[in-house]
Amino acid sequence: MSIPFRERAFHRWLVGAFPPHRGELLPMGDDVAAVRVGRSILLLTTDALAEGTHFLPGSPAGLVGEAAVGASLSDLASKGGRPVAVLVDLLLPRASDPKWAQEVLLGAERSASRSGCHVVGGDTKSSPARAVVGTVVGEADLLPLPRRDSARPGDVLLHTGTVGRGGAAARALEGRRAPNRAVLAELLAIVPRLAEGRALAPFARAMIDTSDGLADGARRLAEASRVRVTVDVARLPWSPKLARGLGERERLSTALYGGDYELLASVPPARVARALAAVRKAGGSARPIGRVRRGRGAFLLETGGERPMPAAGWDPFAAPRRPVGKPGGRRRAILK
Q: Do 52 and 322 touch, CB atoms closer than 8 A?
A: no
* CATH of the domain spanning 22-140, picked from 3.30.1330.10, 1.20.1090.10, 3.40.50.300, 3.50.50.60: 3.30.1330.10
> 129 by DSSP, 3-state: which?
coil
**Topology given in CATH for the domain delimited by 148-331:** Phosphoribosyl-aminoimidazole Synthetase; Chain A, domain 2 (3.90.650)
Residues in the chain: 336
pLDDT digits (tens, 9 = 90+) for 220-241: 999 999 999 999 999 999 998 8
By the 10 Å C-beta count (0-12 exposed, 13-18 middle, 19+ buried), 301 is classed as middle
- Range from 196-200, 238-242, 321-325 carrying the lowest mean pLDDT: 321-325
Q: What is the pTM of this model?
A: 0.89
pLDDT digits (tens, 9 = 90+) for 21-52: 655 688 777 789 998 888 889 999 999 999 98
Please state the domain extents for the chain. Answer: 22-140, 148-331
- Which residues are 87's β-sheet partners? 121, 135
| Closest-CA residue to 329 (of 49, 8, 59, 65) | 49
Q: What angle do CA 201, 76, 320 make, to 5 degrees?
A: 125
Cα separation, 25 vs 20, whole angstroms:
9
